[in-house]
């Protein structure tokens, strides 16, 4: 199926193509959607809502890959731990002790990182096959997480729309509703390498983050509850500087950055620039130091995961992630591309 959305003049905006891609062992079909507009080409799988590839031009005008992706479904099944390009939920990042209390009831969720839960548990949204339908300029993925899945309360209906804006920016819009009080934190886990996403290191990219504070973590990567200023520390990216190793931390984004940009990543060699705009209060910077060469080496990509804060269900001092019946969770993140 190949389609394009049109404006009043009949001009095609985003070219959209859907195709059969693969299938799970039980026969469940996996489809791939390709979106193309103004030089940007994005491929999305219905398995895990995975952004398999993003291609944009460099300074030389040649379009190339900027997101780490794998060649086939078998590879995504084998290397699921890094969450390459995946939609992450029901709760992105960590929940301490794989438990939280909500309205006086303790809920125990499935641990998958020692005693803690990370990214929704062993069968989180990254391992589900999403329903897909075409929408203007993109594709809308949807699923239902039943009450009790991975220990979370409430039947959660989720939809995530991938679309391309004028100029080729990738817009990700999240929505969710529930039939019982629950917690929700959704993100996309794409790793960026603006030099070409070919497995070489992304260190040396210049990064700017509009954040004056981080949420420090303990030895288990769980937040201490403090909101620590970045002044005078290696965590200060308020002015652009080269990215080094050792980052897996949540940044407390400024409420109103001067240019509306929460983060900007730049590769001097290719000239590619990635900007991140988001409605979320936080962003996890992860430099993928722990990659072991299977299939990528250390620091082959940089994740900029827009999110609510880690372990918020156990941290009442953090922005709330509680969703109740009659409410709708909404969130938008836009990844823009340019060159300089």
Q: Which residues are catalytic?
A: 189, 305
Q: Is 190 annotated as a binding residue?
A: yes
What does the buried/exposed string (b/e) look like for 264-282 if buried means 16 or more CB atoms within 10 Å of the residue's CB?
bbbbeebbbbbbbbbebbb
Q: 191: annotated binding-site residue?
A: yes
Flag whether 76 is marked binding.
no
| Element of type H or E holding 74 | helix 73-78
CA 91 to the chain's CA centroid = 12
Q: Strand, coil or helix: what is 233?
A: coil
Inter-residue contact 143 to 130 (CB < 8 Å): yes
Cα–Cα dist 272/263, whole Å: 14
Of the candidates 206, 143, 186, 196, the one whose C-alpha atom is nearest the C-alpha of residue 278 is 186
The string of DSSP codes covering 271-317 is: -EEEEEEESSSEEEEE--TT--SSSS-TTS-EEEEEESPTTGGG-TT
Cis peptide before 90 (omega within 30 of 0): yes
Structure tokens at 136: 């203007």
User: Is 248 annotated as ligand-binding?
Assistant: yes
Binding site as annotated, residues for beta-D-galactose = 93-94, 189-191, 248
Q: Which residues are annotated as a binding site?
A: 93-94, 189-191, 248
């Amino acid at each position: 199926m190949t389609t394009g959305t049109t404006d009043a003049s009949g001009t095609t905006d985003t070219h959209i193509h859907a195709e059969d891609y693969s299938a799970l062992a039980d026969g469940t079909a996996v489809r791939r959607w390709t979106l193309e507009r103004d030089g940007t080409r994005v491929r999305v799988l219905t398995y895990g809502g995975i952004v398999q590839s993003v291609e944009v031009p460099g300074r030389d005008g040649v379009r190339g890959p900027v997101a780490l992706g794998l060649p086939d479904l078998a590879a995504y099944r084998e290397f699921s731990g890094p969450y390459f390009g995946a939609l992450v939920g029901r709760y992105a990042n960590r929940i301490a002790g794989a438990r939280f209390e909500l309205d006086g009831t303790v809920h125990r969720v499935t641990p998958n990182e020692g005693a803690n839960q990370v990214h929704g548990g062993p069968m989180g949204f990254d391992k589900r096959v999403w329903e897909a339908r075409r929408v203007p300029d993109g594709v809308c993925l949807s699923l239902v997480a039943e009450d009790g899945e991975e220990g979370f309360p409430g039947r959660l209906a989720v939809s995530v729309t991938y679309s391309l804006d004028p100029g080729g920016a990738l817009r990700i819009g999240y929505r969710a509703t529930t039939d019982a009080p629950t917690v929700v934190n959704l993100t996309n886990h794409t790793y960026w390498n603006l030099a070409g996403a070919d497995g070489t290191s992304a260190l040396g990219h210049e990064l700017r983050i509009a954040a004056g504070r981080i949420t420090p973590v303990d030895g288990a990567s769980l937040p201490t509850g403090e909101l620590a200023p970045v002044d005078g520390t290696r965590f200060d990216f308020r002015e652009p500087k080269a990215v080094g190793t050792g980052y897996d931390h949540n940044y407390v984004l400024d409420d109103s950055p001067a240019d509306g940009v929460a983060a900007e990543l730049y590769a001097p060699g290719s000239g590619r620039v990635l900007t991140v705009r988001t409605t979320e209060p936080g962003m996890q910077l992860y430099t993928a130091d722990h990659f072991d060469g299977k299939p990528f080496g250390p620091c082959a990509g940089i994740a900029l995961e827009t999110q609510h804060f880690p372990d918020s269900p156990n941290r009442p001092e953090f922005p709330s992630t509680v969703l109740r019946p009659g409410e709708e969770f909404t969130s938008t993140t836009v990844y823009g591309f340019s060159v300089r």
